[in-house]
Structure 1
């Protein structure tokens, strides 16, 4: 089973250490990064696929709940705080669980198991995706996809046969594509690795087109 990728947004060093230790003890969790600042976490979420966010409420610059309201397509959220009075607001924002500090590992495990139970079937276990196109659900085989392009609140899926426009974000489509064969190489582009004909430090050549490589995605190309 694919691991659940998570980030931790926590301003207290001791609390961050405890949570990091808890995460390391759960085989299906993968800690991507720890942030003290919600604004830095926001930048990370814009360019990386993340399944789960552990969110403290009292953060510098931007408070946890206010930050959560700014996210259009947030990952699953587990709130970690010493203040119980924000629980109702948290659940109104569809958080998965609300952990009151200090909490034991058993309580932490109960929370992350809720996230695990809600995860859709892993993309690696199937060879197609269904997307909404003009009020229809269209089946698109992974093997036919060349690349996905962001177009504001829509995406354009270009395949070897035709193109599809669907109202969803690149973060949403990225979470549904198998990570081993589809890589984000730019804030606006996800490409099928097995369709790459050649590449330079700036561009990737696919059949019939070239895709730019974003400044923050050079390491993705180095790993091909």
Structure 2
């Protein structure tokens, strides 16, 4: 088991990392700190294996904080500032993630940082569980993991940093990019018709002009995605 600590002054950054880590069984959260001074006190009383560290924090920057640690754990920097990458690697960090980062990029950072048999088995298990040919997958939303069956999925809508997954009898909001979610879907059954919409082919009722009707929803066809719909029509 790898115990981690998040040090970031933005609460939403904590939620993103926590959501990603919940999919990796070998990672367990030890704590949350919102500035460097909280982290110093925490590490004086606790031991962790991995630190997710922001750079731009009030009073004491992430790198200045890192320089105070006599025996730092593994460090993955999470920041919106790419210009500090060289300084980070000079401080012997494991990886440098630029916000907003995808789940795929996050996994690469974890694999690079925690090179253990346990890590590899956990990642392999995750990939196996999310293969689209199993008929279902788990989706994180509302602090719960929902099992989604492909046959129940009507369409997906992007909404900022979130997606809305419309099912036959439900709608789930999940914090992820639509491009990442698209990778979970079998291409033979789903089609991208707009930069903000992916639909299930077998749920289409009508195609009229620049709109597709699914159930009671009218979904627009994006100009750059018309070719996908034309291919569907043969």
Normalised to the residue count of structure 1, the TM-score between the two structures is 0.51
Name stretches of at least 5 consecutive residues in structure 2 with no aligned partner: 118-234
In the alignment of these two chains, the number of paired residues is: 118
Q: Tell me how large the CA RMSD over aligned residues is.
A: 1.6
Q: Distance in 2 between matches of 1:9 and 1:52?
A: 11
Q: Distance in 2 between matches of 1:67 and 1:48?
A: 16
Secondary structure of 1:26's counterpart equals coil
- Which residue in 1 is equivalent to 2:16? 18
Q: Distance in 2 between matches of 1:9 and 1:28?
A: 20
> Where in structure 2 are the equivalents of 1:28-107 lying within 5 Å?
28-107=26-105
Closer, same or farther in 2 for the Cα pair 1:46/1:118, shift >3 Å? Answer: farther
Closer, same or farther in 2 for the Cα pair 1:41/1:96, shift >3 Å? Answer: same
Q: Distance in 2 between matches of 1:109 and 1:45?
A: 25
Q: Distance in 2 between matches of 1:109 and 1:27?
A: 12
Normalised to the residue count of structure 2, the TM-score between the two structures is 0.49
* Structure label with greater radius of gyration: 2
- Which residue in 2 is equivalent to 1:203? none
Closer, same or farther in 2 for the Cα pair 1:64/1:118, shift >3 Å? Answer: farther
Runs (4+) of structure 1 moved beyond 3 Å? none
Confirm whether residue 116 of structure 1 aligns to residue 114 of structure 2: yes
> Where in structure 2 are the equivalents of 1:179-198 lying within 5 Å?
none
CA deviation vs aligned residue, 1:110-137 (integer Å, no higher than 9, x gap):
1111222069xxxxxxxxxxxxxxxxxx
> Where in structure 2 are the equivalents of 1:211-222 lying within 5 Å?
none
Name stretches of at least 5 consecutive residues in structure 1 with no aligned partner: 120-224
